[in-house]
C-alpha cells in the first residue's frame, strides 16, 4: 500500500485570514490502495466516516474524475495524530492525503502546482492545504482559481505551544458568525499585520509577534464560540508568550514562545488552567514542520 504522512497546520496566524498558514510537527498517516470497493479502517479508533463521504476518498475521487479515470474503490487505513475539528488542519490533511495517494496510484499525472490548486478548491481556501503540501510558513493568494504561494522557513527562535480544548468547533459554524463586510480601517489593520507576521516569522524578529497576531477580521467575532478563550490568552501572556492567536477557525489557541522556554510555558500553563478550573484542555509543544506531506513507501 502507499503510505502517506501529512502534517497538521495552523492557519491565519492571527491576521492572515484565508492566506497565511504554517505546517506543524503533528502528523496523520494514511495507507491506500485501489480496490473493488471502499473500505476504511481507523487505527486509532476515531469516528471517521466509512462511506463515500470519507474525505480521503472524496479527494481521491476528485483527482480521478479530473483525470477522466474511474475509481472503483479504495482500501484506506488512517492513523490520526492531528486532533479533529480543533483548528489544526485535520480536514486538509485528509484532502492532501487523498490527492497525493490518488496521484501516485495514477502514475503522477498532476504536478505540484495542480495539486495545490485542487486541494484549495476542495477545502475552499488555501491557508491549511498549501502548508500541508509544502511545509513551512506559506503565504497563499487565489487568483482565478489558481493558488499563487510561497513556502518560507520559520525562524528556529520560536516553538508553538498548542492549547487544545476538550470541545470541537466546525469551520462552517465559525465562518457563519463573520460579517459580510469590513471597513477600510479594519482591512488596513489586518493587511499590515499579516505582512508583518510573515516577515517576522521568516526573519526571526520575534519582538514583532505581539503586534503581528492582532486581527479585526475573525478572532473578535469568534471569541464567543471558544469557552475560556480570554483566560487562555491571559495565562499564555502572563507566562511569556510572544504572541497568541486562535488557530485557524479555532478552537485551539496557539502561543508562540521562545524555543528554550516553550516546554516550561506549556507545563506551567497546564498547572494554572487546572488551578483556575479550566478543565479538559491539553497543552502540547510543536515545531514548524519544514517538509510538508510525503509519500513514504509503497
Ligand atoms: N481561514 C479559515 C478560517 C481556516 O478561519 O475560517 C479554517 O480552516
Q: Is the pLDDT at 165 greater than 90, yes or no? A: yes
Give me ligand 1 centre to Cα 296, in Å. 28
Distance 218 CA to ligand 1 centre (A): 9
Q: 23, 55, 95, 125: which to mutate for ligand 1, most atoms within 8 A of CB?
A: 125
Please, which pLDDT band fits residue 45 given cuts at 50, 70 and 90? confident
Residue for grid cell 511569556: 240
% of the chain exceeding 90 in pLDDT: 97
Distance CA 253, CA 114 (A): 31
Task: Return the pLDDT at 59.
Answer: 98
Cα→Cα distances 284→82, 189, 253, Å: 12, 31, 11
Predicted confidence at residue 214, as pLDDT, reads: 98
pLDDT at 128 over 80: yes
Percentage of the residues of the chain whose pLDDT score is greater than 70: 100
At residue 269, does pLDDT exceed 70? Answer: yes
Q: Among 69, 122, 73, which Cα is nearest to 95's?
A: 122
Q: Each residue of 179-221: pLDDT tens digit?
A: 999 999 999 999 999 999 999 999 999 999 999 999 999 999 9
Average pLDDT, the chain: 97
The yes-or-no verdict on residue 297 having pLDDT over 80 is no
| Beta-bridge mates of residue 4 | 30, 295
| Secondary structure class of 242 (helix, strand, coil) | coil
Res 298: pLDDT: 64
- Atom number, ligand 1, closest to the C-alpha of residue 248: 4
Task: Report residue 146: phi and psi, to 5°.
Answer: -105, 145
Per-residue pLDDT tens digits for 22-34: 999 999 999 999 9
pTM score of the predicted model = 0.96
* pLDDT value of position 46: 86
Using the atom order of ligand 1, give the atom closest to the CA of residue 128: 8
Give the pLDDT of residue 266: 98
Cβ partners under 8 Å of residue 104, min gap 6: 2, 295, 298
Q: pLDDT digit string (tens) for 68-117?
A: 999 999 999 999 999 999 999 999 999 999 999 999 999 999 999 999 99
Atom of ligand 1 nearest to the CA of 92: 8
Which residues surround ligand 1 with Cβ inside 6 Å? 11-12, 17-18, 125, 127-128, 171, 174-175, 218, 248-249
Averaged over 46-73, what is the pLDDT?
95
- Closest to 198 in 3D by CA, of 216, 182, 213: 213
Query: Three-state SS string across 274-297, please?
Result: HHCCCCCCEEEEECECCCCCEEEE
Q: How far apart are CA 212 and CA 194, in angstroms?
A: 7
CA neighbor of 232 nearest in space, from 87, 259, 223, 190: 223
Q: 249-265, pLDDT tens digit by residue?
A: 999 999 999 999 999 99
- In the chain, DSSP finds a helix count (H) and a strand count (E) of 10, 11
Q: What is the pLDDT of residues 84-93, one digit of tens each?
A: 999 999 999 9
Atom 3 (ligand 1) nearest CA: 249
Amino acid at each position: 500500500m502507499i503510505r502517506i504522512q501529512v502534517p497538521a497546520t495552523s492557519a491565519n496566524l492571527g491576521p492572515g485570514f484565508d492566506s497565511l498558514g504554517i505546517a506543524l510537527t503533528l502528523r496523520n498517516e494514511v495507507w491506500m490502495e485501489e480496490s473493488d470497493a471502499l473500505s476504511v479502517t481507523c487505527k486509532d479508533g476515531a469516528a471517521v466516516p466509512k462511506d463515500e463521504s470519507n474525505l480521503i476518498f472524496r479527494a481521491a475521487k476528485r483527482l480521478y474524475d479530473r483525470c477522466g479515470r474511474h475509481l472503483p474503490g479504495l482500501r484506506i487505513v488512517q492513523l490520526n495524530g492531528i486532533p479533529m475539528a480543533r483548528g489544526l488542519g485535520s480536514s486538509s490533511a485528509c484532502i492532501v492525503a487523498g490527492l497525493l495517494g490518488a496521484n501516485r496510484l495514477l502514475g503522477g499525472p498532476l504536478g505540484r502546482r495542480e495539486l495545490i490548486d485542487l486541494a484549495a478548491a476542495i477545502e475552499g481556501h488555501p491557508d491549511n492545504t498549501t502548508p500541508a503540501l509544502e511545509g513551512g510558513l506559506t503565504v497563499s493568494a487565489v487568483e482565478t482559481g489558481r493558488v499563487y504561494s510561497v513556502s518560507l522557513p520559520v525562524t528556529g527562535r520560536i516553538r508553538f505551544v498548542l492549547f487544545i480544548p476538550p470541545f470541537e468547533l466546525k469551520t462552517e459554524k465559525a465562518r457563519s458568525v463573520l460579517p459580510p463586510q469590513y471597513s477600510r480601517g479594519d482591512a488596513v489593520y489586518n493587511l499590515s499585520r499579516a505582512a508583518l507576521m510573515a516577515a517576522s516569522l521568516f526573519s526571526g524578529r520575534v519582538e514583532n509577534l505581539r503586534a503581528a497576531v492582532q486581527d479585526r477580521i475573525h478572532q473578535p467575532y469568534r471569541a464567543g464560540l471558544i469557552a475560556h478563550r480570554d483566560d487562555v490568552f491571559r495565562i499564555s501572556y502572563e507566562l511569556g508568550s510572544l504572541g497568541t492567536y486562535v488557530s485557524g477557525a479555532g478552537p485551539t489557541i496557539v502561543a508562540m514562545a521562545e524555543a528554550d522556554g516553550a516546554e516550561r510555558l506549556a507545563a506551567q500553563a497546564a498547572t494554572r488552567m487546572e488551578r483556575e478550573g479550566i478543565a479538559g484542555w491539553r497543552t502540547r509543544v510543536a515545531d514548524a514542520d519544514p517538509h510538508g506531506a510525503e509519500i513514504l513507501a509503497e
